Structure 1
Amino acid sequence: MAQALQFFFDGEADTAVRSLWQRLDRAGVPSLATRGHRRHRPQVTFALGSAFTRQTRAELTSELGLLVLPSVWLHTLGTFPTTDNGLVLSAVVDTELLAVHSAVHDVLAKKVKHPSAYYMPGSWVPHCLLAQELDTPALAAGFAALHPVEPIRARLTEVGITDTATGEVDVLVTR
């Protein structure tokens, strides 16, 4: 079981991403909304590991209380070409986003068991997942259904630790 530190979007951005999920579904491409992820919310994952302790959660909450949560521009339709072929909307990386990511990882350093290297500073590609585990024809159909994508300005309004098995979120910060 993994846990993810996720930053959730304001209502308008949440609705915009859900409309992309609906476009995928109408095109016959299973989005996160139809792949058994009914509880899944549009978000950007900042860290992933096997466990975030209570103390680590408290330290994150304290640090996040000091930070200004930036807006994220979701702008680029893309994929991570792995065996799980995911369709994503990548964020424009700017100094504010990187500063928050770095601050979060300063708190998490040596405190989260089995951290995922994909989310570490220097490796992280901030994105909102639209669909996953797609074969090549479904991936191509997903691109065709969504291209071109209008950029989405997502204000980050909530931060939580999500249990990736159940979808339950322990909210740390709401703005």
Structure 2
Amino acid sequence: MAQALEFFFDGEADTAVRGMWQRLERAGVPSLATRSHRRHRPHVTFALGGAFTRQTRAELAAELDLLALPSIWLYTLGTFPTTENNLVLTAVVDAELLAVHSAVHDVLAKKVKNPVAYYLPGSWVPHCALAQEIDTPTLAAGIAALHPVEPVRAKVDEVGITDTVTGEVDILFSRA
């Protein structure tokens, strides 16, 4: 079982990403909205690993209350060079986004077992997943369905720990 630290978007950005998921579906590309048994919310994952303890969650919540969470500009349609094709909308990486990422990883250091290396500082490519585990022709169809992409300015409304099996989210921070 893995858990993910996810930053969820404001209503306008959430609607924009869901619109992209719908465009993919209309093009015959299984989007993240229908690909999994759990209900996905548009987000950017900041960390992934084994269980986040109650103490670690409390420390993260306290740190998040101190941070100025920047808007996340989702700008580039892309994929990763792996054998599993994923279609993603990557974020513009700026100093503010990297500072928040570093701050949360300072809290998580040596507290989360089996951290996934892709999400560690220096390796992280911030992105919002649009479609996962699709074959190459389907990836090409997805790119064609979404290109050109309108940039999405995502304000962070909530931050939570998501159980990647059940989809259950423990909200650590909310602007509401």
Residue 83 of structure 1 deviates from its aligned partner by 2.2
1:81 positional shift = 2.5
- CA-based RMSD of the aligned residues comes to 0.7
Q: Which residue of 2 aligns with 1:23?
A: 23
Contact 1:33/1:40 (<8 A) preserved: yes
Q: Which SS does the other structure have where 1:123 is aligned?
A: coil
Q: Does 1:115 align with 2:95?
A: no
Q: 2:59 is matched with which residue?
A: 59
Find the residue that maps to 1:33 and give its secondary structure: helix
Any gaps of 5 or more consecutive residues in structure 2? Answer: none
| TM-aligned CA distance change 1:170 to 1:112, over 3 Å | same
In the alignment, what sits opposite 2:98?
Answer: 98
Q: Which amino acid aligns with 2:69?
A: L
1:10 equivalent in structure 2: 10
**Count of residues in correspondence between the two structures:** 175
Q: Distance in 1 between matches of 2:18 and 2:75?
A: 15
For 1:81 and 1:144, how far apart are their aligned partners in 2?
A: 19
1-side partners of 2:80 and 2:64: how far apart? Answer: 29
Residue matched to 2:148: 148
Does the C-alpha gap of structure 1 residues 22 and 38 become closer, same or farther in structure 2, counting only changes over 3 Å? farther
State the alpha-carbon separation in 1 of the partners of residues 138 and 165 from structure 2. Answer: 24
How far the C-alpha of 1:157 sits from its partner, in A, is: 1.1
Q: Residue 73 of structure 1 contacts residue 92 of structure 1 at CA under 8 Å; is this kept in 2? A: yes
The 5-angstrom pairing of residues 32-71 of structure 1 reads 32-71=32-71
1:138 alignment counterpart: 138
Q: TM-score, normalised by structure 2?
A: 0.98
Deviates more, 1:36-45 or 1:125-134: 36-45
SS in 2 for 1:56: helix
Structure 1, unpaired ranges of 5+: none
Q: Distance in 1 between matches of 2:81 and 2:51?
A: 27
